[in-house]
Amino acid sequence: MSQAVALPDVVREFERVDPGVVARAGEFPSSILADVAGRRGALGGRIAALSPTMKFAGPALTVEIRPGDNLMIHAAMAIARPGDVILVDGKGDLSSALMGEIMCRQCLALGVVAVVIDGAVRDSVAIRELGLPMYAAGLNPNGPTKFVPGRLNHPISIGGVTVNPGDLVVGDADGVTVIERHRAAAMLPLAAEKVAAETKRIAQIRSRESLTPAWLDDALRAAGVIKAGESM
């Protein structure tokens, strides 16, 4: 029986979601993509943008670190390609910042389109002014250490979601949604259909053509709230 070969701690090459899919996905709100992906893939809401105007789309470059140490984030930046989104499993630790202005300036120079950290950052005013989309679980002025090993481009868990390197990541004011690389293209026509349906529903509300959703009575009957033949 053949045995699986263990991956090295640092995986430099991996398949990224197609750039065309990234460009099209970036046209949709993160909420739309989360809905059509089965109402899943959205990171926990404590991981939020430093500014509500921040938005991005790109393939995931995944980083696993030990709490309070950013050595592997520096390693990730050394292999990042333009267009990548760096996702950091920081274990939710808020005792020290994992990134600040200097590293964010480096990310911009490298073409990294966003950083998502399940941990803390600092220099928040400067990061907002730089314009790099930064999503984090909190702020802390303490600096990190830089000597604990971790892993690059292995599956990680961040904000309650499993992320594999190369997966599609989209973020905006509502938060961050991740869709598996192999499913991403199939979600785009569904997202377009949902946008069209929601646009129609908003128009119906504005015109007062229909102030109650058409599905409500059936859903209430199925839930046993009202009886067959009844309506609201």
Distances from the Cα of 41 to the Cα of 12, 45, 51, 52, 59, angstroms: 25, 12, 21, 20, 14
- Domain containing residue 132: CATH number: 3.50.30.40
Domain with 218, as residue range(s), is 189-222
Structural domain includes residue 13: no
Both 104 and 78 in a single domain?
yes
pLDDT of residue 122: 98
pLDDT of residue 25: 98
Structural domain includes residue 14: no
Give the C-alpha separation, 168 to 156, whole Å: 14
Distance of CA 74 to the CA centre of its chain: 20
pLDDT of residue 181: 98
Cα four-point dihedral sign 81, 49, 143, 88? negative
Give the C-alpha separation, 145 to 134, whole Å: 20
10-residue mean pLDDT series, the chain (232 residues): 76 97 98 97 97 98 97 98 98 98 98 98 98 98 96 97 98 98 98 96 93 90 89 83
Q: How many domains does the chain have?
A: 2
pLDDT of residue 22: 98
